């Protein structure tokens, strides 16, 4: 009797398997193995405890970073501390070319073309009242200038700079940290920042000045 019960139980398990029919068994992926004559120990690093370190450039806090003893901020290794203490006065162009608000657009174009510059501070008795950029001239020409050559020259001579200049521009001082000024240029999408002292223009900081400063630092190993 016990044998029949055992036989029937085995048949029932075979008739009703736990795994559904038609389901394929999953096999592990076969990866290529190295040939038997290859010494795998040669592929291992001779220094297993040494791992590649993350570069500290761009804000990653790796082992290459150190802290500035003055401000407590992190500094990448090899960067002199004095780089963080650069001021606008260290990179600006002092005593830039200027024009008055009543000067004509034609005069501004001639000055920019002759000096090879793209921005002109507008002053009244050394007091900054605006700034004129090459982009302002380009945007103004289709709206205020005629297609006629004579009309073009007439409008250029009769239109004052004050009509298209940027009034009350953002300024910095000589003692402003160069990093803060660079971040302002980048964030605000400016091409230049007038440098003032008690409201009087003393210089201008342009994107070209920042590039020149960076080239000097890299050339000197800073």
Tell me the residue length of the chain: 222
Phi-psi label, residue 111: left if phi above 0, alpha if psi -120 to 50, beta otherwise: alpha
Question: Tens digits of per-residue pLDDT, 188-214?
Answer: 999 999 999 998 999 999 999 999 998
Spatial distance between the Cα atoms of 167 and 92, rounded to a whole number of angstroms: 21
Exposure string for 167-202, b = 16+ CB within 10 A, e = fewer: eebebbebebebeebbeebeeeebebbbbbeeeebb
Residues 6+ apart with CB under 8 A from 60: 54
Spatial distance between the Cα atoms of 99 and 11, rounded to a whole number of angstroms: 104
How many CB atoms within 10 Å of residue 99? Answer: 19
How many CB atoms within 10 Å of residue 98? Answer: 19
Question: Tens digits of per-residue pLDDT, 137-146?
Answer: 888 765 555 5
Spatial distance between the Cα atoms of 201 and 208, rounded to a whole number of angstroms: 19
| Topology, domain 88-219 | CBS-domain (3.10.580)
Environment class of 131 (CB within 10 Å of its CB; exposed 0-12, middle 13-18, buried 19+) = buried
Q: Scan for tokens 């971040």, then name that residue.
A: 183
The mean pLDDT of 114-124, rounded to a whole number, is: 95
Question: Tens digits of per-residue pLDDT, 28-83?
Answer: 656 556 555 555 444 444 444 444 443 333 443 333 345 555 555 555 555 566 66
Residue ranges of domains in the chain: 88-219
Q: Name the average pLDDT for the chain.
A: 75
pTM above 0.85, yes or no: no
Residue 71: its pLDDT value, please? 59
């Amino acid at each position: 009797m016990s044998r029949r019960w055992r036989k029937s139980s085995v048949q029932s398990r075979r008739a009703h398997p736990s795994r559904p029919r038609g389901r394929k068994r999953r096999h592990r992926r076969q990866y290529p193995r190295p040939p038997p004559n290859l010494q795998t120990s040669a592929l291992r690093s001779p220094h297993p405890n040494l791992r590649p370190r993350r570069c500290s450039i761009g804000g990653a806090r790796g082992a290459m970073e150190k802290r500035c003893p003055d401000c407590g901020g992190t500094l990448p290794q090899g960067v002199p501390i004095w780089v963080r203490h650069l001021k606008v006065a260290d990179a600006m162009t002092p005593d830039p070319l200027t024009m008055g608000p009543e000067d004509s657009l034609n005069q501004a174009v001639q000055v920019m073309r002759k000096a090879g510059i793209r921005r002109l501070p507008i002053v009244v008795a050394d007091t900054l009242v605006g700034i004129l950029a090459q982009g302002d001239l380009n945007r103004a020409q289709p709206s205020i200038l005629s297609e006629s050559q004579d009309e073009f020259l007439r409008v250029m001579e009769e239109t004052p700079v004050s009509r298209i200049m940027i009034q009350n521009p953002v300024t910095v001082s000589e003692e402003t940290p160069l990093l803060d000024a660079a971040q302002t240029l980048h964030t605000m999408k400016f091409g230049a920042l007038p440098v003032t002292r008690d409201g009087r223009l003393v210089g201008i900081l342009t994107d070209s000045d920042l590039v020149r400063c960076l080239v000097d630092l890299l050339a000197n190993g800073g």
